[in-house]
Amino acid sequence: MSFDYAFLDARATPNQFENCTFATCELSTSFWYYRPSLPANAIFLSLFSLSLLLFLVTYTVTRRFGIFTFTLIACCSLEILGYLGRVLSYSNPWHETGFLLQIVCLTIAPSFMAGGIYLCLRNIVYAFGPENSRIKPETYTRFFIPCDVISLVLQALGGGMASTASHEGRSSALGDHIMVTGLAFQVLTLAVFMGICLDFAFRTARLDAVTLDPKFSSLRSSKKFRGFLASLTLSTLCIFVRSVYRVAELSEGWTGHLIQQEWLFVGLEGVMVVVAVVVLNAFHPAFCFNTGFESRSEEEIIGFFQRRFQKVEEK
């Protein structure tokens, strides 16, 4: 993993480029190396703002799948902050705040959505019958949610350390390494998740309909449920592609070739995440699952963290 810190080293004095304008400085001296696109970033800002509103309305109306909805609300909120930073940087790409805001917020935001996606697998297994899964439904939650938390903590910690170091004119090497490690761990977790999902899909596809849980036959045959499965699949693939791209991008450091190409960022970060959010908005599990499904997953995850906190307090 190779990092180039010449860019940050040039800012040993944090305010060195503070007074730059388009007339006095080259864009190559800015934090971005380019002028962020106002139309593209404004569109993403608007779409995530609309999605946030729709998730809030969905939960207000249904009062179902609260933890899933919270993860998507958190994701959209961070995306909004990140793209706000990019929009503000259109006027002044030499201003540090907008750059650091988008680096931290846009890096960690999809981790929340990944957590919501992991939470849904348990319900899907119950819909087809737990006996058809190699792994107990509860194990999915107990394994993937902690993995997502670890990834989120590493990314947030690394992003915070890198931002602080940059602001103070110090090397951000340690923070960058931690942040990339968190992203790489997220890629690994997503890969394992997709492998398990494929295995379960192949196993159930080979079974006759009569061998599946008859209690949920109408649910499995509904267009809403099938749409939800398709949206969850698409969202997972989008987050995986995006995470692989961010690992490659940030592994080059803040002056690498990939981070200087906004068209790559728009296509592999912005488009991927907004598609993942929109399809989960359209096929929200509150509309696609029968009543009672959400209680199993939410009680399991709440119980998991309660047990962990109790153990910490006992120590």
Give the chain's domain count. Answer: 1
Residue 82 lies in a domain: yes
Using left for φ > 0, alpha for ψ between -120 and 50, and beta otherwise, residue 31 falls in: alpha
What is the domain range of residue 310? 17-204+216-314
147 within some domain:
yes
pLDDT, position 2: 41
pLDDT of 315 reads 60
CATH number, position 220:
1.20.1070
Q: What angle do CA 272, 92, 105 make, to 5 degrees?
A: 35
Q: What is the pTM of this model?
A: 0.88
Band the pLDDT of 34: cuts 50, 70, 90. Answer: very high
Q: Is residue 6 part of a domain?
A: no
pLDDT at 295: 53
Q: Are 299 and 247 in contact (CB under 8 A)?
A: no
What's the token pair of residue 20?
């730059």
For residue 148, being part of any structural domain is answered with yes
Q: What is the mean pLDDT of residues 181-190?
A: 98
N- to C-terminal Cα separation, the chain: 38
User: Residue 254's pLDDT is what?
Assistant: 80
- Other beta carbons within 10 angstroms of residue 255's beta carbon come to 16
Residue 48 domain-assigned (yes or no): yes
- Position 4 in a domain: no
Q: Per-residue pLDDT tens for 118-151?
A: 999 999 999 998 888 999 988 998 899 999 999 9
List Cβ<8 Å contacts ≥24 apart for 133-141.
133/200, 133/203, 134/199, 134/200, 134/203, 135/196, 137/296, 138/300, 140/196, 141/297, 141/300, 141/301, 141/304
- Please name the helix (run of DSSP H) or strand (run of DSSP E) that holds residue 38, with its range, or none: helix 38-62
Task: Name the residue with higher pLDDT: 73 or 294.
Answer: 73
Q: Is the pLDDT of residue 4 over 60?
A: no
Residue 184 counted as domain residue:
yes
Residue 173 has what pLDDT? 86
Pick 262 or 170 by higher pLDDT.
262
Q: Residue 238: inside a domain, yes or no? A: yes
- How sure is the predictor about 270, in pLDDT bands with cuts at 50, 70 and 90? very high
